[in-house]
Every structure is written in C-alpha cells, then in structure tokens.
C-alpha cells in the first residue's frame, strides 16, 4: 500500500511538471497555423509537395502556354509569303516606263512581302522565346518564377500579337497584289476578285472577334 501511494504521488508530481510545457507547446503550434482558409491554402508548399495543388498549377500553366500558338501560325504565313516570290513572275520586279499602275503595284507588293516576312520572324521569335523559358522554369519546378516571368512578359506578348495581326493583313494584301501582277488586263481582276472579297470579309470578322475578346476576356486583367 505504501509503495502504491508513493507511485501515485510521483505520478501526480510528474504530470504537474509536464502539463504546463505540453499546454504551452500546443498553444504555440496553434498560433503558428494560418488563421484563415485562404492563408492555409497559400501556405501549402508548391512544386509537388501536394499533388492536387501542383496538378492544378501545372494544368493552368499548360493552358496559358497553349495560347502562345501565334508563333506557329505566323511561321506558316511567313513560309507562304516566301513562296509568293516564286508565284509572282520575276519580270514583275522590273519597273516599266509608261506603266504607272503596275509600277505602283510592284512596289506595294515588294513592301508588303518584306513586311510580312519581317513581322513573321519577329512574332515567331517572341512567342518561341517566351515558350522556351516558361517551359524551362516549369521543368525545373520553379512555378513561382514561371508565374513572375510570364506575367512580366505581358507587353512582349502584346507586341507579338499586334505583329501577328499586321503580318496577317500584309500577307492578305500581298496575295492580292501577286494575283494582279501575275495575270494581265481584265482577267487579273476576275481572278483576284475572290481573294479581295474573302479578304475584306475576313478583316470584318477579325475586327469583331478582337472586340469580343477585348470585352469578354481582357476587360479585367487577372494574374495567374
């Protein structure tokens, strides 16, 4: 009975010594936890520590990178523009005396074709470089650096898009000029008529699409 009493007394003394330390540690741990759901989500480690969060971020990043397809389309337009040199006969590059209309047409064709290729190279390079560096950051697991880099390139993406639109416009007009230079007299206008009609209709539709995107998508800028 005496031994049992001694054991109980020692147990009580040990509990009285331990409980304050345990309670204090629990309070400190609770204070260190985020105090709101948003803060808790922000405190989740990135880069694979939590599979769901990492998968969501990667899916969003891939979606935004897929939006950089302007470079691929512009590369195809540039290739087609270079082939116009072969389509248009070489003699059309020579200016003729007493042929003002054709001379103006030839000069316009040359300027538009040079603009198409130059704008195409610029657009392709801009979006390709952004895509390469973005994928490199994601491949290295630097998701935060990727978001910062991608958002910082907003003005370059803006310039690249404007270059893409200008490239598309200059190629469409240069295509009509090539048709007019290849054929002669009234026949060339009949052949170029479908290209002119589709080009005008296309520009009207492009303008409407740009307006819709500007109003519905880009009216409020939101970061990743």
Dump pLDDT digits (tens) for 152-195: 999 999 999 999 999 999 999 999 988 888 887 788 888 899 99
Please, which residues have CB within 8 angstroms of residue 79's CB and are 6 or more apart in sequence? none
105-143 per-position pLDDT tens digit: 888 888 999 999 999 999 999 999 999 999 888 888 888
Percentage, residues of the chain above pLDDT 70: 66
Instruction: Provide the pLDDT for residue 18.
Output: 47
Percentage, residues of the chain above pLDDT 90: 22
Residue 105, SS3?
Answer: helix
Range with the lowest mean pLDDT among 28-37, 43-52, 137-146, 182-191? 43-52
- Distance of alpha carbon 110 from its chain centroid, rounded? 31
CA dihedral sign, ordered 99, 100, 104, 110: positive
Q: Residue 51: which pLDDT band, with cuts at 50, 70 and 90?
A: very low
Residue 67, SS3?
Answer: coil
Q: Which two structure tokens, joined as six digits, stand for 18?
A: 């331990």
Distance CA 147, CA 154 (A): 11
Distance CA 128, CA 79 (A): 16
Residue 21 pLDDT exceeds 60: no
CA dihedral sign, ordered 43, 49, 54, 55: negative
CB neighbours (10 Å) of residue 171?
A: 23
């Amino acid at each position: 009975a005496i031994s049992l009493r001694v054991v109980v007394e020692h147990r009580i003394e040990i509990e009285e010594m331990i409980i304050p330390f345990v309670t204090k540690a629990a309070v400190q741990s609770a204070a260190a936890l985020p105090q709101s759901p948003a803060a808790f989500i922000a405190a989740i480690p990135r880069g694979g520590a939590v599979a769901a969060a990492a998968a969501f971020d990667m899916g969003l990043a891939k979606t935004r990178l897929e939006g950089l397809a302007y470079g691929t389309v512009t590369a195809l337009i540039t290739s087609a523009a270079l082939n116009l040199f072969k389509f248009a006969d070489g003699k059309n590059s020579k200016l003729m005396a007493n042929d003002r209309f054709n001379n103006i047409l030839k000069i316009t064709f040359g300027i538009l074709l040079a603009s198409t290729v130059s704008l195409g190279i610029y657009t392709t390079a801009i979006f390709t470089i952004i895509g390469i560096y973005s994928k490199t950051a994601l491949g290295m697991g630097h998701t935060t650096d990727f978001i910062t880099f991608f958002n910082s390139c907003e003005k370059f993406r803006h310039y690249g898009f404007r270059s893409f639109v200008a490239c598309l416009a200059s190629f469409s007009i240069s295509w009509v000029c090539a048709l007019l230079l290849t054929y002669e007299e009234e026949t060339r206008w009949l052949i170029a008529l479908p290209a002119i009609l589709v080009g005008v209709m296309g520009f009207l539709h492009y303008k409407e699409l740009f307006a819709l995107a500007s109003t519905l998508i880009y009216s409020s800028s939101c970061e990743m």
